[in-house]
Amino acid sequence: MLRYWPLVVKNALRNRRRSTLTVLSVAASFCLLGVLMSMYHIFFLNPPSPDQALRLMVRNRISITNVMPASYEARIRQVKGVQEVTVFQYFGGIYKDSRDMKNYFARFGVEPARFFAVSPHYRIPDEQKRAFETERSACVVGLGIAQRLNIHIGDRITLVGDIFPVILELTVRGIYENPSDDGGLLFDYEYLRESMAQRGRGQLDQVGMFILRAESPEAVPSVIEAVDEMFANSPSETKTETERAFALGFLSYLGDVKLMLISVCGALTFTILLVSANTMAMSVRERVREVGILKTLGYSPHAVLGIMLSESVLIALLGGMLGLGIAAAIVSAMRHVPIMFVSLKRLAVPPWVLAGCLVLAVVVGVASSFFPAWNASRRPITTCLRFTD
């Protein structure tokens, strides 16, 4: 088969404009397919890292705006299989001008030492970590947010509370890096408690969320059950779920993302098929007489069929590769844009998407040219030679 290769390439190059347009058209669809499938991967398939799988979020069963008694923390810590637990209090608040979406990022109150014990994947220099642990009004910000808003160590940040009626005056003491998401700010929960007490708002004895770290992956299911069991039938029942399940809950804010991605991908696959089939139908039709000549020269119907299918596969593969190349570029640009609370920092075109798209290109190439090529290869020589377009 390989010896027909030069003929295949020559055929593909004969009508360069058509081949180029087809490749570009197929590339546009494959580019989108690559981007959307990568998004699907990171949202729904990406397996959590071993470390992430150990982290569990505990919230009030009723909803994330409902709170739980702060005393839960000590009781959760005693559950068998729990290594460490920290308060994780959403603060919200307004930083500078809230109308500018640029200034929108997540702010959480945590217990510094415990938080880093729960989240060892946060990379932060030791002296910065110590500064955050010792200074009450210190805060640390993610590298992503620091770069976006030009925040440096030593800067002062003022957060005007909207849920909590306080103003937090914070000093940046550290910049952390988190491989999956560094678009947030963390401050000492104790500072929030003190600020509330100073404002005469009494003791803050309710907490929005806890994060806990299980000792081992095996302990995770039993920890989830034990924690939720412990507070069942109390005024504040809890819901414990993995970090990943929690993040997916936020994704549903965008609507039925799964359905949207799948249906658009389906439409794109059909588009590729139609475009490719159209091109092949046109080029086979133009070449019926040539098929007659090839056959006269002794090419078997199978060889003719193979040559035409190869040409179509070649064009579809070129389109696929070009499209995936563009997709990779788009994906790396998208990494810096968070969607709601779901970080796209780790967005990349995964290998199975690459492989899947290339396989799809081959399948589309064959499927789109099979019928015209089959018909042409079966046509008797005399009718081929007599054929006029």
Binding map of another protein across residues 340-369, x = CB under 8 A, - = no contact:
x-----------------------------
Smallest separation, CB 254 to another protein (Å): 6
Residue 48 is classified by DSSP as: P
Residue 125 is classified by DSSP as: -
Span 34-63, contacts to another protein by CB under 8 A: 36, 61-63
Q: 83 or 271: whose CB is closer to another protein?
A: 271
- CA–CA distance from 71 to each of 75, 117, 163, 186, 210 (Å)? 7, 20, 21, 22, 11
Encoding tokens for residue 366? 């064959």
18 contacts another protein (rule: CB under 8 A): yes
Q: In 287-300, where does DSSP find H-type helix? A: 288-296
27 contacts another protein (rule: CB under 8 A): yes
Smallest separation, CB 3 to another protein (Å): 30
Residue recorded with tokens 């559950």: 79
Smallest separation, CB 340 to another protein (Å): 7
Residue 84 is classified by DSSP as: E
Residue recorded with tokens 């003791």: 203
Q: Which of 7, 241, 262, 370 binds another protein (CB under 8 A)?
A: 241
Q: Which of 253, 332, 352, 355 binds another protein (CB under 8 A)?
A: 253
Smallest separation, CB 272 to another protein (Å): 8
Q: 130 or 258: whose CB is closer to another protein?
A: 258
Q: Which of 117, 143, 196, 339 binds another protein (CB under 8 A)?
A: 339
Q: Which part of the chain contacts another protein (CB under 8 A), choosing from 16-24, 69-77, 146-154, 171-179?
A: 16-24
Backbone phi, psi, residue 96, to 5°: 50, -125
Strands 209-214 and 167-176, bridge-based pairing = unpaired
Question: What does the alpha-carbon distance between residue 114 and residue 246 come to, in Å, rounded to a whole number?
Answer: 20
Burial bucket for residue 267 (CB in 10 Å: 0-12, 13-18, 19+) = exposed
Q: Are 57 and 227 in contact (CB under 8 A)?
A: no
Span 267-286, contacts to another protein by CB under 8 A: 267-268, 270-271, 274-275, 277-279, 281-282
Question: What does the alpha-carbon distance between residue 280 and residue 372 come to, in Å, rounded to a whole number?
Answer: 7
97 contacts another protein (rule: CB under 8 A): no
Question: What does the alpha-carbon distance between residue 174 and residue 289 come to, in Å, rounded to a whole number?
Answer: 74
Smallest separation, CB 35 to another protein (Å): 9
Maximum CA extent, the chain: 99
Span 60-89, contacts to another protein by CB under 8 A: 61-66
192 contacts another protein (rule: CB under 8 A): no
- Phi and psi based region of residue 60 (left: phi greater than 0; alpha: psi -120 to 50; beta: remaining): beta
22 contacts another protein (rule: CB under 8 A): yes
Q: 21 or 355: whose CB is closer to another protein?
A: 21
Q: Which of 264, 329, 359, 381 binds another protein (CB under 8 A)?
A: 264
Question: What does the alpha-carbon distance between residue 182 and residue 350 come to, in Å, rounded to a whole number?
Answer: 21
Q: How many residues in the shown chain lie near another protein by CB under 8 A?
A: 54
Interface with another protein by CB under 8 A: which residues?
17-18, 21-22, 24-29, 31-32, 36, 61-66, 92, 94, 98, 160, 162-163, 235, 237, 239, 241, 245, 248-249, 252-256, 260, 263-264, 267-268, 270-271, 274-275, 277-279, 281-282, 339-340, 389
